[in-house]
Structure 1
Amino acid sequence: MALNVLFIGGTGQISYPCVELAVRQGHAVSVYNRGKRADALPAGVTSIVGDLAAPDYADLAKANYDVVCQFIAFTPDQIARDIEVFSGHCGQYIFISSASVYEKPARHYVITEKTPAINPYWAYSQAKIACEDLLMTADALAWTIVRPSHTVRTGLPIMMGDSDIMARRMLDGEPTIVAGDGSTPWTLTRSVDFAVPFVGLFGKAAALKDIFHITNDRAHTWNDIQKAIAALLGVEARIVHVPTDTLIRYNPDWIGPLVGDKAWTAIFDNSKVKGVAGDFTCAESLEDILAEPIVHLKQRLAANRPPKGDFDALVDRICQAQSALG
């Protein structure tokens, strides 16, 4: 059944393939954003230029969309406004949260939607938890919460810092950092694979007032991820393993992305979303998962290779100190 769907965002890392798939499946798709991304929207998509904070944002409710997909709300005040705007004016409101909300470390090595949402380490995750909590009190809004994990399309997966700089360091034969011993399993999901179950949740009564994560079933160690990136760039990875606690002492801002996320094992049970959206598969090999990000990386480096700067100096300092231990 064709639905009238609004994407708030729609041109981002995760949302763009979802827009493409929704169009291919015959849905009438509109995209609301600031219109600043270079990617051209698929043919037939209605572009609405605006900002979440604009007074006319409330006018979106007049269309009474069947599905509203909120990809760019990150704070409770933004969700509070959406509850006010869309309650009674859409068939389904889907909020994109994050799998980083799950407690660290998880009580079980396989994460399900029953894993508590507790993350005392990362302000980003705490804000997403607060958004979810607010939605769960919205009786007049038919909400669905979706939690992606590490989803890749244009950017390369690294543990902290700037991925383009890390890739440039690899190409220049310089060392890169992996937190811990690099053996922690981590789940990577292509955005194009995420899109299939995400769009599959549209209009499903069983998806209302419920929470789903959408991830790959397969995990890879951070050592293998780094080595695969290097191999696809035609070089050999020079990995320096540094304890997470040590890295945070060098840069306290890394406590969020490391202790609040990537330093822990992340393996997910996707049976819940498969039971509602239908079965789906994801690319499993790192070569397939990283193929599209590598293409985007090479295009960016050809246009603007990042110069050496403060981040390089910090990485060099850490690598030299760690390597001096023998």
Structure 2
Amino acid sequence: MRILVIGGSVFLGRAIVEEALRQGHEVTTFNRGRSGDDLPGVTAVRGDREVPADLEALAEGREWDAVIDVCGFTPRVVADSARALSGHAATYAFISTISAISDWPAKRVDESAPLWECSPDAGPEDGDYGVLKAGCERAVEKYFDGNALIIQPGLILGPWENVGRLPAWLRRVSRGGRVVAPGDPGLPMQLIDARDIAIFTVDQAAKGVNDRFLTTGPAGNTTFGRWLADCAEVTGASPELVWIDDEFLLAREVEPWTELPLWIPSTPGEVGTWDVSTAKAEAAGLRCRPVAETVRDTWHWLKDRDHAELERRLPHWRRHGLAPDKEARILSEWDAG
């Protein structure tokens, strides 16, 4: 199969390219060459998807069996790509997000759940991340003349992570000492490895599937306590995990998702966070490796790298993790009762 990957140099995009090459497909990547390096074996086309002339040059004289769009965030921009590539591929696979579903995380959701209202021609000012992703999905379905494969991932982890959630925990746990651990250690979670999404996406694109799939780990494939224990085991550290109540942390203005990555306080508006139906994707072939394997492989990728250089290239990393002085203050106040 001939595959065009829009993006393809970092995290999920890199995993998709790696999987496509492993399966023996011919891969073209289209990106600006700024976020990361293209993998050996691809045909790299440099360009900016927001520049019409670059899209025209990409499409001219080329055809693929499938396009996999990993880096579409604005409906208007995705619409331009879908129009430019219509007639040059049979399938357009778009990597969306579970955040495009308006009922999530307040409710348990499946593929029948409604999307946020958003025009397929919306601009960056017309909504937040999830709203705009919903518009991007509609842009592919409206403007691409062919199969529209919509992938809606949940929480993605794995080697080459460019967001910094699992790396933040691995780095903190590896330092040892007393570690603020949020909420309930028995909280069931749903985590998925980028490499498993990559396998599923490439397989569905190869089949020319015209459908949408929620792609995350099976419900309860780990707990917060088990996940942090995996971090300790792979790093060889012996931290003391101090489990602190949600209310105590919120009262001290600890930011969910970022200062304590993957921590979501237990509130009525969040009950569906880790309760997403994966039945449809599993029936179509989605398989997920153990979370402990993802943690191990991410640490092996991370431990010997230049973290300062990674933070420079991946600015989201700097947003994740609790500052040492704030962590020490919270632990002291918790001890004081």
Q: How does 1:171-320 map to 2 (within 5 A)?
A: 171-205=174-208, 207-208=209-210, 210-217=211-218, 219-237=221-239, 238-243=241-246, 246-247=249-250, 250=253, 258=264, 265-276=273-284, 279-284=285-290, 286-300=291-305, 311-320=323-332
* Map of 2:65 onto structure 1: 66
TM-score (norm 1): 0.78
SS in 2 for 1:202: helix
1:154-180 residue CA offsets vs partner (Å, 9 max, x unmatched): 2679xx976545433323334444443
User: Aligned AA for 2:76?
Assistant: D
Deviation at 1:298, TM superposition (A): 0.5
Q: State how many pairs are aligned.
A: 310
Deviation at 1:92, TM superposition (A): 1.0
User: 1: CA distance between counterparts of 2:189 and 2:5?
Assistant: 29
Q: Which runs of 5+ in 1 are unaligned?
A: none
* Map of 1:88 onto structure 2: 87
Deviation at 1:262, TM superposition (A): 8.3
CA contact (8 A) 1:182 1:241 kept: no
User: Aligned AA for 1:4?
Assistant: R
CA contact (8 A) 1:113 1:212 kept: yes
User: Aligned AA for 2:336?
Assistant: A
SS in 2 for 1:90: coil
CA contact (8 A) 2:83 2:143 kept: no
Q: How does 1:46-65 map to 2 (within 5 A)?
A: 46-54=43-51, 55-62=53-60, 63-65=62-64
User: Aligned AA for 1:220?
Assistant: T
Q: Which moved more, 1:235-244 or 1:222-231?
A: 235-244
Q: Which moved more, 1:258-267 or 1:15-24?
A: 258-267
* Map of 1:143 onto structure 2: 148
Query: Are residues 304 and 36 of structure 1, via their aligned partners in 2, closer, same or farther at CA, if it must alter by over 3 Å?
Result: closer
Deviation at 1:249, TM superposition (A): 6.5
Deviation at 1:105, TM superposition (A): 3.6
* Map of 2:107 onto structure 1: 107
Query: Are residues 263 and 246 of structure 1, via their aligned partners in 2, closer, same or farther at CA, if it must alter by over 3 Å?
Result: farther
User: 2: CA distance between counterparts of 1:247 and 1:236?
Assistant: 27
Q: Which runs of 5+ in 2 are unaligned?
A: 118-126, 312-317
Deviation at 1:271, TM superposition (A): 3.6
Task: Report % sequence identity.
Answer: 26
SS in 1 for 2:68: strand
Deviation at 1:311, TM superposition (A): 2.8
SS in 2 for 1:239: strand
Deviation at 1:215, TM superposition (A): 2.7
CA contact (8 A) 1:177 1:242 kept: no
CA contact (8 A) 1:156 1:294 kept: no
Q: 2:170 aligns with which of 167, 170, 174?
A: 167
Query: Are residues 323 and 254 of structure 1, via their aligned partners in 2, closer, same or farther at CA, if it must alter by over 3 Å?
Result: farther
CA contact (8 A) 1:91 1:203 kept: no
Deviation at 1:107, TM superposition (A): 3.4
User: 2: CA distance between counterparts of 1:132 and 1:249?
Assistant: 38
Query: Are residues 312 and 77 of structure 1, via their aligned partners in 2, closer, same or farther at CA, if it must alter by over 3 Å?
Result: farther
